[in-house]
Amino acid sequence: MEAILLIVVLIFSVVVHEVAHAWQARREGDFTADRLGRITLNPIPHLDVMGSVLVPMLLHFSGSGFLFGWAKPVPVDPRNYRDPVWGDIRVSMAGIVSNLVLAVLATIASGVVVKINATVGPLGGLTDLLGQAAFYGILINLVLAFFNLIPLPPLDGSHVVAHLLPEAAALRYRQAGRYGIPVLMALFFFAPGAFRYLMWPVTFFLGLADSFIRLWM
């Protein structure tokens, strides 16, 4: 049940992340993702079997202590944006903002569950289930948000950095994107300490969420 709950929360979180990209792209003037039916919370158009199911399950059962996954990236064409620079930045940041919002909502939900559990009782185990789902919602969405903020192509944070660089440097920076994910995976498997250092904001905000939840006890 725990593994199923993990996958459900993860899939919902990555789908919201991609829908946020697509929705913001439409606001900026690009209807590519909209025409392909990607502005929907139906997970089917977004699912990537490797990133949405297999990798998260492998990480969970390996006891790595790190949960991550992804959905199919939504196709966008920045040439259609009314403002190509700021449009690209806003579209890139939309996914990150959506995950931070979900993390905040999950934190509030966790506090409510704690309060119900303390005043009414476990309700036949329902509060335990909801509490676990809320915890996964906090953890997964913080990881998604701050992982995507890493300024390494093709992650979302790299779009902001690229627009701060001179044109020639930005081109070389974007071309380095083919090495971005392999570098991060190498850090994860061969230098986990360095990878955890990159993800220190997750630990920090998990602490803040825990402090908030304790107020409901």
Q: Does the pLDDT value for residue 187 go beyond 90?
A: no
Residue 176 φ/ψ, nearest 5 degrees: -70, -5
Residues 113, 129: Cα–Cα separation, whole Å: 10
Q: Does the pLDDT value for residue 65 go beyond 70?
A: no
CA-angle at 61, arms to 213 and 128, nearest 5°: 30
Alpha carbon of residue 66 to chain centroid: 13
What's the pLDDT at 59?
73
pLDDT tens per residue across span 7-52? 899 999 999 999 999 999 999 999 999 999 999 999 999 988 887 7
Of 2, 18, 28, 167, the active-site residue reads: 18
Residue 152 φ/ψ, nearest 5 degrees: -125, 120
Whether residue 2 lies in the annotated active site: no
Single-letter amino acid, residue 39 = I
Of 34, 16, 37, the closest CA to residue 25 belongs to: 34
What's the pLDDT at 63?
66
CA-based torsion, 202, 58, 137, 182: positive or negative: positive
Residues 113, 130: Cα–Cα separation, whole Å: 7
Mean pLDDT, to the nearest integer, of 188-204? Answer: 80
Mean pLDDT, to the nearest integer, of 115-136? Answer: 88
The pTM for the full model equals 0.90
**Per the structure block, which two tokens stand in for 199?**
């993800």
Question: For helices 200-214 and 84-119, what crossing angle results, to 10°?
Answer: 40
What's the pLDDT at 119?
87
Helices then strands (H, E): number in the chain?
A: 10, 0
Residue 111 φ/ψ, nearest 5 degrees: -60, -40
